[in-house]
Amino acid sequence: MTARRSALARIFRPRSDPRDGLRPLWHRVVGASRNPDWYAQGHVADTVSGRFDMIAVILALVLLRLESAGAPPEHGVHLTELFVEDMDRQLRETGVGDLVVGKRIGKLVAALGGRLGAFRDAFAENAEPALLEDAARRNITLNDGADGSAIAGLLRTYHAELARCEPAAILAAELPR
């Protein structure tokens, strides 16, 4: 009976989630996206769209930093999965039905991918400074009349601060404010 019970216990034992170690980093990404400076000084619209944009931008910058540092790709995959999990939960909490959630998640993941490409290009070694302003204008919901220069300056500073962070520190959820 003991051998049988231990076999069943092994089968039904909860498995560890490889994403669990990155959850503090995901929460820190969300926290960094809520920094009031993005909204007050950077002129990001303090709306659902503007807040989503900042989460996606901060996540994109973190993913690009890990990529440039040669971190194992599964870290990026797991962070993206946490993004999807959180966005799925947020959509369901706002009343979006099961039939629509998948389509919306697909669009949100595509939006993240677009930001990865835009900011990868904008922060490339020989990129023109105007490319970052253009990427900000196209990928971040700004207040009426904002031209993207203020948020581009803040993103340039954040990117530089992130570049000084060791990958191990980032993975330990130590991000610039």
Query: pLDDT digit string (tens) for 69-97?
Result: 999 999 999 999 999 999 888 888 888 77
DSSP-H helix ranges across the chain = 2-12, 23-33, 36-40, 48-68, 73-93, 98-122, 129-139, 149-163, 167-171
Looking at residue 43, the DSSP 8-state letter turns out to be: -
Q: pLDDT tens, 15-63? A: 688 889 999 999 999 999 999 999 999 999 999 999 999 999 999 999 9
Task: Tell me the domain boundaries of the chain.
Answer: 22-167
Under 8 Å between Cβ of 26 and 86 = yes
- Amino acid at residue number 92: R
Q: At CB < 8 A and 24+ separation, what contacts does 42-47 make?
A: 42/150, 42/151, 42/153, 42/154, 42/155, 43/142, 43/143, 43/146, 43/150, 43/151, 44/140, 44/141, 44/142, 44/143, 44/151, 45/141, 45/142, 45/143, 47/141
Is the pLDDT at 1 greater than 60, yes or no?
no
Considering the entire predicted model, what is its pTM? 0.87
Rounded CA separation 71/162 (Å): 14
Q: Count Cα atoms within 13 angstroms, Cβ side, for 170.
A: 26
Under 8 Å between Cβ of 29 and 55 = yes
Rounded CA separation 39/68 (Å): 28
